[in-house]
A and B are shown apart, each in its own frame.
Chain A
């Protein structure tokens, strides 16, 4: 069964600090891994996407890493801002029967405090 596990479940950090969120997956066959940001009351928005051959992808202050051998990914947020407060969801995709199938993690809820 395809699964995506994230840690920690929740995190509180001070504004300006860095943090790292973790994602472990057992999805096969692997196609790509995305990190989404979901603000309260809104739908998820894609931050980064990485395929099997990519091990790092940056989007501003967000840097995602992927180790396809250990099936782990991390999302590093640099110099956090209050607007980074949100849930961050790791999503792993596979292709089956010609169609993309996605498996969502449960998310990490990040709160940035002044």
Chain B
């Protein structure tokens, strides 16, 4: 079974530039998560999708971050314009369902962003 794919793996941009990350979840997984992980900290949830609908985006800085999941499969996360404090690893995860039993989140390798 193929895992969660993310691209690019690394990105260096200057502040005020725009950047986009792409995630392809495990086939058939209904739930997709984007996390921001700053060095030395645990992942922080940015947005959670159930199919192509948003379940939780309470911690997404909506003035500069946006995300979409067209057709309930692939997802893109965009930052426009980027700030220095956006330097982090952006992790994408997927899970098969979010109903009444626990399920495992499967994480991609992450995209490491450096804003100069």
Contact = CB atoms under 8 A, between A and B. Distances in A.
A42 B110 contact: yes
A46 interface: yes
A87 B98 CA distance: 26
Interface residues on B, range: 20 to 34
A93 B93 CA distance: 15
B43 to A, nearest CB: 5
Given A43-B91, A95-B100, A102 B109 contact: no
A34 B95 CA distance: 14
Contacts of A12: none
Contacts of B109: 41-43
Interface residues of A, number: 26
Interface of B: 4, 31, 33, 35, 40-45, 48, 50, 55-56, 91, 93, 95, 98-100, 102-105, 107-110, 112
Interface of A: 4, 31-32, 34, 41-46, 49, 51, 89, 93, 95, 97-102, 104-107, 109
5 contacts: A42-B110, A44-B107, A100-B98, A102-B33, A102-B45
